Amino acid sequence: MSRFAAPIAEQIWDMKYRLKAADGTALDGSVEDTWRRIARALASVEATPDAWEERFYDALSDFRFLPAGRIIAGAGTDRSVTLFNCFVMGTIPDSMAGIFDMLKEAALTMQQGGGIGYDFSTIRPRGAPVQGVAADASGPLSFMDVWDAMCRTIMSAGSRRGAMMATMRCDHPDIADFITAKHDAARLRMFNLSVLVTDAFMEAVKADGPWDLQFGGRVYQTVPARDLWNRIMRATYDYAEPGVIFIDRINAANNLHYCETIAATNPCGEQPLPPYGACLLGSINLAQLVRDPFTPAARLDPQALEDLVRLAVRMMDNVVDASRFPLEAQAQEARAKRRIGLGVTGLADALIMLGLRYGGDPAVAQTESWMRAIARAAYFASVDLAREKGPFPLFDADAFLASGMMQAMDDDLRAAVRDHGIRNALLTSIAPTGTISLYAGNVSSGIEPVFAHEYTRKVLQTDGSRTEEKVQDHAVRLWRELHGDTPLPDYFVNAQNLAPMDHVRMQAAAQKWVDSSISKTINCPEDISFDAFKDVYMAAWDMGCKGCTTYRPNDVTGSVLSVAESSEATPEADTGADVVYLSTPFDRPEALEGHTYKLKWPGSEHAIYVTINDTVINGHRRPFEIFINSKNMEHFAWTVALTRMISAVFRRGGDVSFVVEELKAVFDPRGGAWVQGRYIPSILAAIGGVIEQHLIRIGFIAGEGLGLKTDPEAQRMAVGEAPLGRVCPSCGAPEMVMIEGCMTCRACGHSKCG
C-alpha cells in the first residue's frame, strides 16, 4: 500500500526527490528507498553507522521528519551537489576588482543549486567619487543589475531556478533607489529585496525625528525618518517589496554575537547569516504527532516530539560533515559553527486537529509552548552531541551565554551548556516548506495557516489531455475520513479569511523560541488601508519579530487564488492571473494584421527578421503566428523550428508570455552581446525580447515581466470556462499562488525560492 496520503504527494516525490539515472530510469523504487538512501548517507559519518541508519530511517518514515529538499534529493546520490539550501556570500568590497570576484563566487554557488544573499550596503553610493579614475561611482543598484543578469545566465544553463536576496541598510544614501528598484517590472527579477532596519531608525520613526543617510563617515543627506519609513511602506503596499529586517534585533539575539556580524539573509529570510554562512534546513511535521485528533483527548505527543527533535538534530549535524560546498570558505564557516535550522511544518493542521483557531489566544499560547519544547529538546540534544563529539570550534561559554537568546533560556539548559558546551551554535529556524509539505500529504506549510481547504488541480496526462484531481488539506482530509460531509467547524480558518494581526501574533509567538528567524507571509486584504497596513509592520516590531513580509493582492502584485470551500468548487482568479487552455487550436482567419521587426546581432553579417501576426478574439488582440527569417544559412534549421513551435504555442491560446521568459533565459556559451545598453545572453534571448515588446505593443501583457492584460471575461467567452490561475513555468499548470513570500505552484511545487 502506498505511503503517500494523496496523489499529489507521490507526484512531487517522483518529480523532485526520487533518485533517477540520467536516462530517467528510477533508482529509488519506492519512497522507502528514498528514506533508506538518506538515512544511510547521514549515518555514514557515525562511528556505528548501521545502528544510526535504522534510527534515522525511523525518523524519516511516515514523513515525520522532513529534511529540506536538497537533502532529500541529493543525500546518498554521489552527485556533486550541495545539501545546503542557501548561502550568504562574502562581504562585497568597495572596489571594481572585489565586486567582480564576489560575482564569480556567486555564480559558482548558484551553479550547484544554492540560493544566495548579499548585503549591497558596502558599495559606495551613486555619484560618490572614485579615486584614481576621475569618475563618479555608479552605485550598488547598477551592480545588482549585473548580479541579476548572472542569475539569469546560470538558470538558463540548466541549473534550477535561482533565488537571491539583496539587503541594504536604512541609512545608505541610495536607500530610496533601492526601495523603488522593482517598480520597473523588468528590473531585478531574480532578487528578493529587504531593508535592514536598525533600532535607532525605528526610534526615530516613532519620535518623528531626523535620519542621516551616510557612507564612509560622510553624511550625504538628512531626511525625516517617518518619511523614509512611509516610502518603504508604500513600496511594499503597492509592490510587495521590499521586506523589512530588524537587523539590530537579530544581532543582539545571535548566539554568535561575539564572533560574527550579520548583515544579510538567505533568499526567504529565515536564516540571517554571516559572510559565507550556510543554510541547513529541516522540519518536524507536527501534524503527524497529534494523537486522537478532533476529540476532547486530542494532544500532540510530547515524548514523540522530543525523541524526534533529538534525532533530527543529530541527522542535521551530520549533514555538515556529509555535504559538499561550492566554496571552501563556505565549508570552513559551516564547520566552525555547525549552525542548523530545525523548524516545523504542519503547525496549522496540528492546531486544527486540537480544535484551535489559528491566530486565537489559545492557538498563540499552544504555538509558543510547542516551540519552547522544540527549542529545549534541540539544545539539550546538541549539548549531548558536544559531550560525545565536541562543541563547535568557536564555542566560548561566557560569550555564548551572554547572547540575548541564551539569556532567555532556562537555568538548567544554561548550566548544561556551560558544563559541556554545545555542538551547534544555532539550532532553530522556520523555513518555507511549500514543496515538502505537498510531499508529506499537503500538510499546512511551515507556521502558515492553511492556504486553502481544498481545490481542484488540473493534471497533464501523457497523451496531452488534462484530468481534474481534488487536493485537500491534510486536516480537512482527516476530518472527512472521520466525519464524512459534516460541515467543517469554525476553527477551520484559512489564509484568505484571517486578519493580518492574527498572522503577526502567531509569528511573534514562534519567534520567541526560534534562534534564527522565520519565513512567514502576512496576508493582507486588497482593501486594507495604508495606515492599517503600516500598523502591521509596527506591530511586528513591537511584538519582537525579527522581520516582516506581507502580501497584498493588487493589479501589480497579482491575485491570490480564492478557493470556494466545497468539494465541487474550482479555483477562480481575479483579472491579473488568467489563463486560457484550449483543447483545439484557433482557426486561422484569411487575413491577419502583424508587424515585422529587424534584429541586428553584433558580429553577424545578416539581420534576422521577426514577423508576428495577430488575431482578435472577442475584441482582444493576441499573437497567432510567428515567422523568423535570415539570409544566414547557419540559422536556417533553428529558425524554422522556432517558427513552427512558437506558432503552435500561440495557436493553443492561454498565457503564452512564458515563451518570452524561456527564450530570454537562453545562454550562448560562446558569449552574448551588448545591445542598446543591455547585455543579451544569446540571439534566442534577443528574439524573446522582440516577442515581449510586440506583446506589450498589442496590449497582451502590461509591460516587461508583467502578466496578461487581456480581459478575462473575453477569455471566458472564448473557451466556455472560468479563468484559472497564473501558469507555472515548470509544469505549465495554472496553479501559481503566493505562499510564504514566494510564488509557488500547488501542482508541482515549483518556486523561485526553491
| Torsion 525-530-535-536 (CA) sign | positive
In angstroms, how far is CA 208 from the centroid of its own chain? Answer: 34
C-alpha separations of 723 from 573, 614, 659 in Å: 7, 22, 20
Burial class (CB in 10 A: 0-12, 13-18, 19+), 389: middle
Q: Residue 705, CB half-sphere, CA atoms under 13 Å: how many?
A: 12
- Closest Cα to residue 729, out of 680, 667, 663? 663
- The alpha carbon torsion through 393, 398, 401, 402 (nearest 10 deg) reads -120
Pairwise CA distance, residues 710 & 732, whole Å: 19
Q: Any idea what DSSP says for residue 15?
A: I
Contacts of 264 (CB under 8 A, 6+ apart): 88, 89, 117, 118, 119, 165, 167, 272, 273
53, 105, 241, 270: the catalytic one is 270
Task: Determine whether 632 is an active site residue.
Answer: no
Alpha-carbon gap, residue 521 to 442, rounded angstroms: 18
Nearest Cα to Cα of residue 516 among 213, 234, 268, 156: 268
Kindly give the residue spans of alpha helices, DSSP state H, lying in 116-244: 140-156, 175-180, 199-207, 225-239
Query: What sign results for the dihedral spanned by CA atoms 289, 297, 9, 476?
Result: negative
Q: Is 602 exposed, middle or buried (0-12, 13-18, 19+ CB in 10 A)?
A: exposed
The radius of gyration of the chain's CA atoms, rounded to the nearest angstrom, is 26
Q: Is 268 a catalytic residue?
A: yes
Catalytic residue among 192, 251, 254, 266: 266
Paired residues of 265 in beta bridges: 272
Is residue 315 within 8 Å of 75, Cβ to Cβ?
no
CA pair distance 694, 288, nearest whole angstrom: 51
Amino acid identity, position 646 = I
Give the end-to-end CA distance of the chain in Å, rounded to a whole number.
30
Residue pair 735/725 in contact by the 8 Å Cβ criterion: yes
Per the CB < 8 A criterion, the answer to whether 440 and 66 are in contact is yes
The verdict on whether 545 is a catalytic residue reads: no
Which residues are CB-contacts of 56 (< 8 A; sequence separation ≥ 6)?
A: 38, 39, 42, 43, 311, 315
Instruction: Give which of 309, 310, 258 is closest to 425, Cα–Cα.
Output: 258
Which one from 86, 151, 170, 268 is the annotated catalytic residue?
268
Across the strands, what pairs with 412? none
* C-alpha cell belonging to residue 392: 563547535
User: Coil, strand, or helix at residue 594?
Assistant: strand
- CB pairs under 8 A, 24+ apart, for 10-15? 11/459, 11/748, 12/435, 12/438, 12/439, 12/748, 12/749, 13/439, 15/748, 15/749
E strand segments, 414-572: 454-460, 466-472, 522-523, 547-548, 550-551
Burial class (CB in 10 A: 0-12, 13-18, 19+), 631: exposed
The size of the chain, in residues, is 754
CA distances from 56 to 13, 40, 310 (A): 19, 8, 11
DSSP single-letter state for residue 183: G
Strands (E), 205-364: 210-215, 218-224, 243-246, 264-265, 272-273, 278-279, 281-285, 290-291, 299-300, 341-345
DSSP state of 546: S
* Catalytic sites, residue numbers: 266, 268, 270
